[in-house]
Structure 1
Amino acid sequence: MVAPTPALENILSHLPHFLHELEQGVLDHGLSPSIGTMDHVCYRALDNAEYLTLRAELAQYGEVLVEGMIGHRPIITFKLFQPLASPFGAIPSLELAAPKAGKQHTHGLEHGEIVVPNLQQLLSDYPWIPFNTKGLQGHAPEVTLSVAPYQIKFHCLSLADTIALEIAHNQVIPVPEDYFQITL
């Protein structure tokens, strides 16, 4: 195994705190970390230069499932060669998001996503939890739990399965070849 580079080591050094905060947030709301499998974690890059650096470095640690435009900025997903250990079980994937142009944002680890069998059942079983349900109407329905400053998102399909469906249905919007020359 290749030793992590400084930029990747920075992400990994924050991972235990991030996962502890997500675990504590789940417990504080009366859920168990075993409610579902944590499918991936997402890191939002500070800027496009960091995105490009991390994209290159992460290629040593995982297979690219897809890179495409989501929300007007590139996002790449890696299926890790060695899953990340967590209180939610082994996490097989890492998502790297470029910043949205013209938007202020916090960079760093941003959210984790948990796969559950049924979102309506989740809402019904835990009516006291302040889930944000705005994402139920999207093409990949989700509910979100804020664990400030982070989020836990709940889906019925893993990110890898969602990506496979998007590829099969030709729904991936490619990153324009000149995207980074224009926005750096």
Structure 2
Amino acid sequence: MPTLDELLGEPRQFLDELEQGLLDHGLPTTLGPMDHICYRAADQQEYLRLRSALARVGDCLVEGMIGNRPIITFQFHHPLASPFGPIPCIELAAPKAGKQHRYGLEHGEIVVGNLTLLQESYPEVPFNTKGLQGPAPELTLALPPYQVKFHQRSLADTIVLEIARGEVIPVPTDYFKDKEI
């Protein structure tokens, strides 16, 4: 069975770069727990391959359509060690049809108590605030080619709420037609 390093392309280096990016902006790594990392698949075949492989190292919390493409979240059997503490989950995103994007590890998300207080405490940090108005308010800090997002609720808790409210849009049964590995 492949290791997480083999599956995800050096998550430790990715996490070290996120840590350094925060420190370069004067942010401590102790703002809150990093509840998940996100990997964007290069194509549908890679999504299916990683979905199958990640099912051996974690339990699926949900798979659904978000932004017109499947996204699945796994809770690791053994949390991923990081400079931010143990990371319990990984989000795997299929590519959006017709869109060019960078594939591989893309972002980490940190849960903080209050987004407004975070902004006020670090006014010199160039947070992107466009996500504050969405259903799950967030701040984003670009650390090219990566980013760190800040939320007030963990992804696992958000998933529980979305399932309870019936908000998960199932992946159409024929979405991966002719794409099985």
Q: TM-score normalised to the size of structure 2? A: 0.96
Aligned match for 2:88, one of 75, 88, 92: 92
What is the alpha-carbon distance in structure 2 between the residues aligned to residue 53 and residue 43 of structure 1? 13
Query: For each residue in 1:98-151, what CA deviation from the matched residue of structure 2 results, as whole angstroms up to 9, or x when unmatched?
Result: 001000011100000000000011111111100001001111110000010001
**1:34-73 matches, cutoff 5 A:** 34-73=30-69
The percent of aligned pairs where both chains have the same amino acid is: 66
**Is 1:175 matched up with 2:162?**
no
1:77 corresponding residue in structure 2: 73
Amino acid at match of 1:172: V
1:4 corresponding residue in structure 2: 2
Amino acid at match of 2:176: F
What is the alpha-carbon distance in structure 2 between the residues aligned to residue 146 and residue 31 of structure 1? 13
**Shift in Å, 1:15:** 0.6
Q: Contact 1:146/1:152 (CA < 8 Å) preserved in 2? A: yes
Report how many residues are paired. Answer: 180
What is the alpha-carbon distance in structure 1 between the residues aligned to residue 94 and residue 6 of structure 2? 17
Q: Structure 1 residues 13, 182: closer, same or farther in 2, change over 3 A?
A: closer
What is the alpha-carbon distance in structure 1 between the residues aligned to residue 164 and residue 99 of structure 2? 32
What is the alpha-carbon distance in structure 2 between the residues aligned to residue 83 and residue 42 of structure 1? 14
2:121 corresponding residue in structure 1: 125
Amino acid at match of 2:35: D
Secondary structure (helix, strand or coil) at the match of 2:123 reads coil
**Shift in Å, 1:11:** 3.6
Q: CA RMSD in A?
A: 1.4
Q: Any gaps of 5 or more consecutive residues in structure 1?
A: none
What is the alpha-carbon distance in structure 2 between the residues aligned to residue 9 and residue 38 of structure 1? 18
What is the alpha-carbon distance in structure 1 between the residues aligned to residue 18 and residue 5 of structure 2? 20
**Shift in Å, 1:52:** 0.3
Q: Structure 1 residues 164, 14: closer, same or farther in 2, change over 3 A?
A: same
Q: Contact 1:11/1:108 (CA < 8 Å) preserved in 2? A: no
Q: Contact 2:59/2:77 (CA < 8 Å) preserved in 1? A: yes
**Shift in Å, 1:95:** 0.5
What is the alpha-carbon distance in structure 1 between the residues aligned to residue 73 and residue 175 of structure 2? 18
Runs of 4+ with deviation above 4 angstroms: none
Q: Which has the higher helix share?
A: 1
**Shift in Å, 1:45:** 0.5
What is the alpha-carbon distance in structure 2 between the residues aligned to residue 145 and residue 9 of structure 1? 25
What is the alpha-carbon distance in structure 2 between the residues aligned to residue 183 and residue 140 of structure 1? 32
